[in-house]
Structure 1
Amino acid sequence: MASRHSNDRNSGGAAGADTGPPAASEVRNVVLVGHTGAGKTTLVEALLAATGTVSRAGRVEDGNTVSDYDDAEVRQQRSVNLSLAPIEHAGVKINLLDTPGYADFVGDLRAGLRAADCALFVVSTAEPIDGTTRMLWTECATVGMPRALVLTKLDHPRSDYAGTLSACREVFGEKVLPLYLPVPDAGGPVTGLIGMISRQLHEYRDGARTAAELGETDAVRLEEARGELIEGIIEESEDETLMERYLGGEELDPKVLIDDLEQAVAHASFHPVLPVCSASGLGTTELLEVMTSAFPSPGEHPMPEVTSVDGAVKNGLTCDPAGPLLAEIVKSTTDPYVGRISLTRIFSGTLRADIPVHVSGHFLTGGGHEEHDEDERIGALSSPLGKTQRPIGQAHAGDIVAVAKLSRAETGDTLSDPGNPLLMRPWDMPQPMLPVAIVAKTKADEDKLSQGLSRLVAEEPTLRVENNPETHQLVLWTMGEAHTDVLLERLSKRYGVEVEQTELRVPLRETIAGHGEGRGRHVKQSGGHGQYGVCEIEVDPLPEGGGFEFVDKVVGGAIPRQFIASVEKGIRHQMEKGVSRAGYPMVDVKVTLLDGKAHSVDSSDMAFQMAGALALREAAEAAGVTFLEPFDHVSILVNDDDVGTVMSDLSGRRGHVQGTEAVGQGRSLIKAEVPQTSLTRFAIELRAMSHGTATFTRTFAHYEPMPQHLAAKVME
């Protein structure tokens, strides 16, 4: 498949070596999406080798600079981070964005979808289409991302190309059609590919691609499959005469078909399929040709919503290097030698090294990310590959580069001209739902913890840090166990802060079970000025949300007026501390002050505060104390097949299911109220029972009395 772009840039080699910044028409921003183990990272490495960017041994060859790309550390980081690998083919720079396949790192997936203009959806031919793969397809469809499918692992013993292609069409739709036929079709290793538009056969042997003659059997197979592909492309064409001409027997110009294919892919209405074997390199050249000739350029992809920092809509911006500067940080990382490195997509204008920019961070969701607007000078620009940062002087609209030394900018921030500050609407980020309580290991770690966490939050928009004022715990809200492990490892290795996980405490409440009476007597005589305060009260429960009610029924001046408020103050203070050994705040109580005694000399504000506190504790003991636990509103989006399992699980968590509703595409929404004590690991357990396909949100609902057997455990 020949490129539809003509230019003077060299084919192959490291992207952007000596030719200056590419124009937007010479750039393809491609994000690789797929389940863990589908072969995304191996495919990136095969494409790097196919373009000569790295050798098969995995060493970057960039002038005099040679560095390892494939070492274990870099591979591990790519498995949990969005990473960039620029390559070049046929004069077109291709920015490959490799995304993690773990569900915990969906934030990086969405960042990659924001930065890219087309997606390679990677599916293993050795595994069935699972729920996670369906969910990833939905993520792409939600943002209207153009997609092509790459079927990998053709050399695996369990590889079933035909079965996987059929499953993809069944799950993803009839507009999933192959551009190439593997040879042989079934049985034995795949040794070649037949281009169904060009009718050409290329064989791959010993790492080399050579043209070959079509055999009679392959020619028959080709014509059987080619018709459906051509009709699928024509159906998406704006030329209404093509179908009639094709059905009339006219042989259509391949260039016309390629142009229509590109338009259909750009509209996300047609999804071509390419078979690739990363180990042998089979299909890599064809994939490069498709990316350069049939994938949309940055100028063909819709611009995200842009406003001024005060909210005024800005229309008319295009992918123009001469336009106003508009860029977005899609990923922040920290290098121990360079400092913070911001992976940045330029949507408009030209970004140059060492210029002032306006940094805008206005977030749609919480998470500890404060809104900010400030000017900052950027450092060097570079094109990253593995551990290597290749310096560049400037980058044009449509490109993706690494920016150094943006110390105050966070992932998701907008960069613009200080004289014309702009703001891009942030992409939707999932809310972290797994709470993890941590404590610093040592005093030295405690001193560095705050700064380390603030840096993590700046890098990771799916992390939320909470200092719970009731439980006095530092809580990290993460996406799951893998996410937690990665964050704590970064905290340790990058910022030298060691922490330990501790048991999460849920903020309970105490209340009065019934009517009770109590007497508080605080009398001390130790020579000199003494302390004297006596009060008698009764307590009664209030309805949920009643708070605190204080009634004064003292008659005859038994307690001087100036000390009535002191009694109330002492009672309120005791309620904040709680009356049980567990020490949770007390709520929903009515206290009536009935009587008391005072001393003309020794009574004081403090004495009656102490008396009020003692009276409340005695009255609560007489009335009985009930623990209240918080319940959350929980909304769970789950596959229809898993509804029964999830509802049964909610029942076991003492949840109150309020209803279910179908939301389409085989999915249902379950709404329930569940005690927070049963939700501490729900993010992990829901993922397990739904095979990684279910998601949920939670918001505080109300407090309810805790069952006695659980309350007894709290007291223990």
Structure 2
Amino acid sequence: MNVYQTKQIRNVAVLGHGGCGKTTMIEAMAYITGVTNRMGKVVDGNTISDFDKEENRRQFSIGTSVVPIEYNGIKYNFLDTPGYFDFVGEVEEALSVAACAVIVINAKAGVEVGTQKAWDLCNKFNLPRVFFVTNMDDDNASYKNIVAHLQVLYGAKIAPFHLPIRENEKFVGFVNVVNMKGRRFTEKSQYEECPIPDYSMENLEKIREALMEAIAETNEEYMDRYFSGEEFTYDEIRYALRMNVRSGDMVPVLVGTGINGNGCQMLLEILDMYYPGPDENFISGTNTKTGEGFTADYNDQKPFSARVYKTLVDPFIGKYSMIKVCSGVLKPDTTVLNVNKDTEEKIGRLYVLRGKEAIEVSELRAGDLGAIAKLSVTTTGDSLATKEVPIQYEKTELSVPYTYMAYRAKNKGDEDKIASALGKLMEEDQTLRSVNDKENRQLLLYGIGEQQLEVVVSKLMNRYKVEIELSRPKVAFRETIRGKVKVQGKHKKQSGGHGQYGDVTIEFEPSGDLEKPYVFEEKIVGGVVPKNYFPAVEKGIQEMVVKGPLAGYPIVGLKATLVFGSYHPVDSSEMAFKLATILAVKAAFADPASKPVLLEPIASLQVKVPDKFTGDIMGDLNKRRGRVLGMNPDHSGNQIVEADVPMSELFGYNTDLRSMTGGIGSYSYSFSRYEQAPADVQAKEIAARAAEND
């Protein structure tokens, strides 16, 4: 592959709803530009983008893959992203290195939830975008309805650059609204000029007028000329559109088909004409040696620096650190500094990845995307630079995983293999986390959604030959008392020689502070318990608060006051007083007067949904024993519902929320506090723990 200068590079993320045709569109581009000599198909599992076995089996994208395409002296690095919401971390990684985005819409399905989420992600990363309406050859395709829907959602920003031309109910070409010319498809996405059909003129004039009005608003001179009826030149139109498109004030809508590549050539040309290369973008980091800011701005004359935006770990093709060069030039057989780890890494060969194919290159220039094999300490988010000028870039903020399940090895002895395999999967997917919940003696697997966790189970089995079982996770309850009791604990044992004797009377009551396990005081008068045994009494309490008598959960909010006791001058010992105290704690929790209870964790939940779904959301939260605290508009047609909900009731919430809102709803939560669980929940949990211990 040729080495491209910074201004000849376009980094383009391809977004859209799952199954809308993103991978097929990229495959068509690869075919029409000569990258491949035959079109791969998703159903056949032979596309460039979807090379993972799991993707082939499920027939949708799971990870982001890069497909560089060369056309008319420009290198387009297309980042094919997953459309299913569970893999949003992959999309965010792609958007962090893209300069623009193509949002694909299936003409048959129309504007879907994934289309809107793609728009929101482009807003988050401040990227200019273009809509590509594919599948226009479908009998049920309605370009007019799609444009109208987009204009309802996003207003005057939506600018149709194309109008479809149909003959005998077949999609044969399009009208270029910008230069007012008809285009008829010939072969391999090529086209020739043709007359504009009469039936297109009425709609065409309206769209053209809206475009001219938008152009007129770019400066006062154009506005004066527009109102005086003067026409703009083609160059003036292109320049003004370019400014509007790059600023995000205008979003073009194009037409085409994926399976035969119609319209793909025009998309490539528009990405070159209207969208920025890396040399027109900005990026800055921090020189960790001096503490000063470093303006990289994809200048290849500055010292080398890069950031690792994704890691690919495959048992067959190896580990690749996928990088975007932020400044300077990277060449093979050099040594660079991993700034985050403060460790030098030896660079061997340099590659450009095209799907799973690693193409060796002689250098990577600023703004380009490439890959380095077998780096020892480098992980996703790390910055690479020279030792002399160590530049560190901010890590991309990815979506937080809130869905989790417990997991365990299906076969004994596989624990180490599973930990190693999960480590590799977590290197690839930064939204995947494994947590050891020591309190409940369980391993937890966190992800964005249940489908992502299912894919992890499948990858572990097929890729690494280990099996895990997912199950409902246990909830971390707490134990405490609500009443005040005075109890005695006596440990007495005689078995020849020195015996054991410890006797304590302790008052137990709520401390009022659930953040602390216990508070210990003593009010001994007359030395009935010697001072040297006070630490042993506290140690007994320390041991008991780790695993309470009710259901084996930690005790919190307990105040213990040692008020009386007795000792034996020969048989008493620290161990005897510690054991006596343990008996006292058990006696306190067994006494109904202490009102022992289980406390359950409460989450502070925020649910973001369009206005029309708020009733359903609040009704569902009530079923989950939640307390709705209020609603706040986000000024984008959504409401943020705030509620307190028991953590145990949030299991499966991700799936239920998507079902209620058609996938558009999102949520987040954080631990808030502990509250007394209802009597039925307590009884059920205590019985379950007893059965488990048996």
Q: TM-score, normalised by structure 1?
A: 0.89
Residue equivalent to 1:571: 541
Residue equivalent to 2:692: none
1:94 is the counterpart of 2:76: yes
Alpha-carbon distance in structure 1 between the residues aligned to 2:48 and 2:237? 41
Offset from partner CA, 1:408-428 (integer Å, 9 cap, x none): 222222221122111112222
**Could you tell me which of 658, 663, 666 is aligned with 2:629?**
658
1:148 is the counterpart of 2:130: yes
Alpha-carbon distance in structure 2 between the residues aligned to 1:32 and 1:587? 51
1:498 is the counterpart of 2:443: no
Deviates more, 1:147-156 or 1:538-547: 538-547
Q: 5 Å matches for 1:109-258?
A: 109-184=91-166, 188-205=169-186, 207=188, 209-214=190-195, 217=198, 220-221=201-202, 224-225=205-206, 227-228=208-209, 230-232=211-213, 234-235=215-216, 237-238=218-219, 240-245=220-225, 248=228, 250-258=230-238
**Aligned amino acid, residue 68 of structure 2:** P
Residue equivalent to 2:640: 669
Q: Is the 8 A contact 1:128 1:164 kept in 2?
A: yes
Alpha-carbon distance in structure 2 between the residues aligned to 1:592 and 1:226? 82
Residue equivalent to 1:289: 269
Alpha-carbon distance in structure 1 between the residues aligned to 2:185 and 2:538? 87
Residue equivalent to 1:679: 650
The 1:359–1:233 alpha-carbon spacing in structure 2 relative to 1, beyond 3 Å, is: farther
Offset from partner CA, 1:591-643 (integer Å, 9 cap, x none): 23233232222221111111110111012111242001111222222221112
Q: Is the 8 A contact 2:519 2:558 kept in 1?
A: yes
Deviation at 1:208, TM superposition (A): 6.3
Alpha-carbon distance in structure 1 between the residues aligned to 2:661 and 2:343? 44
Q: Is the 8 A contact 2:544 2:582 kept in 1?
A: yes
Offset from partner CA, 1:274-294 (integer Å, 9 cap, x none): 101112322112112112222
**Could you tell me which of 24, 27, 35 is aligned with 2:17?**
35
Deviation at 1:691, TM superposition (A): 2.0
Alpha-carbon distance in structure 2 between the residues aligned to 1:459 and 1:377? 21
Alpha-carbon distance in structure 2 between the residues aligned to 1:300 and 1:28? 11
**Could you tell me which of 322, 328, 332 is aligned with 1:349?**
328
Q: Is the 8 A contact 1:338 1:404 kept in 2?
A: no
Deviation at 1:583, TM superposition (A): 0.4
Q: Is the 8 A contact 1:513 1:625 kept in 2?
A: yes
CA RMSD of aligned residues (A): 2.5
Offset from partner CA, 1:139-179 (integer Å, 9 cap, x none): 11222201111011112232111111111122122121122
Q: Is the 8 A contact 2:285 2:295 kept in 1?
A: no
**Could you tell me which of 227, 236, 239 is aligned with 1:259?**
239
Residue equivalent to 2:293: 314
Alpha-carbon distance in structure 2 between the residues aligned to 1:24 and 1:330? 18
Alpha-carbon distance in structure 1 between the residues aligned to 2:639 and 2:289? 38
Name the SS of the counterpart of 1:377 in structure 2. strand
The 1:619–1:672 alpha-carbon spacing in structure 2 relative to 1, beyond 3 Å, is: same
Residue equivalent to 1:638: 609
Q: 5 Å matches for 1:222-621?
A: 224-225=205-206, 227-228=208-209, 230-232=211-213, 234-235=215-216, 237-238=218-219, 240-245=220-225, 248=228, 250-303=230-283, 305-309=284-288, 312-361=291-340, 372-545=341-514, 547-580=517-550, 582-621=551-590
Residue equivalent to 1:369: none
Alpha-carbon distance in structure 2 between the residues aligned to 1:117 and 1:42? 22
Unaligned runs of 5+ in 1: 1-16, 60-65, 362-371
Name the SS of the counterpart of 2:171 in structure 1. coil
Q: Is the 8 A contact 1:434 1:478 kept in 2?
A: yes
Deviation at 1:525, TM superposition (A): 1.9
Q: Is the 8 A contact 1:266 1:301 kept in 2?
A: no
Offset from partner CA, 1:438-494 (integer Å, 9 cap, x none): 122334321223333333333222123322232122212210012112233333444
The 1:216–1:675 alpha-carbon spacing in structure 2 relative to 1, beyond 3 Å, is: closer
**Aligned amino acid, residue 135 of structure 1:** K
Deviates more, 1:529-538 or 1:139-148: 529-538
Residue equivalent to 2:30: 48
How many residue pairs get aligned? The number is 678
1:707 is the counterpart of 2:675: no
Q: Is the 8 A contact 1:409 1:458 kept in 2?
A: no
Alpha-carbon distance in structure 2 between the residues aligned to 1:704 and 1:328? 45
Offset from partner CA, 1:623-680 (integer Å, 9 cap, x none): 2420011112222222211122112222222222222111101012222221111123
**Could you tell me which of 660, 663, 667 is aligned with 1:689?**
660
* Percent of aligned positions that are identical: 33
The 1:487–1:375 alpha-carbon spacing in structure 2 relative to 1, beyond 3 Å, is: farther
Q: Is the 8 A contact 2:287 2:294 kept in 1?
A: no
The 1:218–1:401 alpha-carbon spacing in structure 2 relative to 1, beyond 3 Å, is: farther
Alpha-carbon distance in structure 2 between the residues aligned to 1:508 and 1:487? 28
Residue equivalent to 2:62: 80
**Aligned amino acid, residue 521 of structure 2:** V
Alpha-carbon distance in structure 2 between the residues aligned to 1:671 and 1:692? 19
**Aligned amino acid, residue 549 of structure 2:** V
Q: Is the 8 A contact 1:468 1:475 kept in 2?
A: yes
Residue equivalent to 1:367: none
**Could you tell me which of 85, 88, 103 is aligned with 1:103?**
85
Deviates more, 1:90-99 or 1:208-217: 208-217
Alpha-carbon distance in structure 1 between the residues aligned to 2:261 and 2:184? 11
Q: Is the 8 A contact 2:159 2:211 kept in 1?
A: no
Q: Is the 8 A contact 1:326 1:415 kept in 2?
A: yes
Q: Is the 8 A contact 2:282 2:296 kept in 1?
A: no
The 1:693–1:210 alpha-carbon spacing in structure 2 relative to 1, beyond 3 Å, is: closer
Name the SS of the counterpart of 1:201 in structure 2. strand
The 1:77–1:173 alpha-carbon spacing in structure 2 relative to 1, beyond 3 Å, is: same
Alpha-carbon distance in structure 1 between the residues aligned to 2:229 and 2:13? 38
Unaligned runs of 5+ in 2: 688-694
Alpha-carbon distance in structure 2 between the residues aligned to 1:236 and 1:178? 18
Alpha-carbon distance in structure 1 between the residues aligned to 2:532 and 2:52? 74
**Aligned amino acid, residue 335 of structure 2:** P
Offset from partner CA, 1:227-276 (integer Å, 9 cap, x none): 325415523645x4334445555554323322332222221111111101
Alpha-carbon distance in structure 2 between the residues aligned to 1:579 and 1:178? 69
Residue equivalent to 1:10: none
Name the SS of the counterpart of 1:673 in structure 2. strand
**Could you tell me which of 662, 669, 677 is aligned with 1:698?**
669
Alpha-carbon distance in structure 2 between the residues aligned to 1:212 and 1:349? 43
**Aligned amino acid, residue 341 of structure 1:** Y
Q: Is the 8 A contact 1:58 1:69 kept in 2?
A: no
Q: Is the 8 A contact 2:182 2:196 kept in 1?
A: no
The 1:284–1:258 alpha-carbon spacing in structure 2 relative to 1, beyond 3 Å, is: same
The 1:192–1:597 alpha-carbon spacing in structure 2 relative to 1, beyond 3 Å, is: same
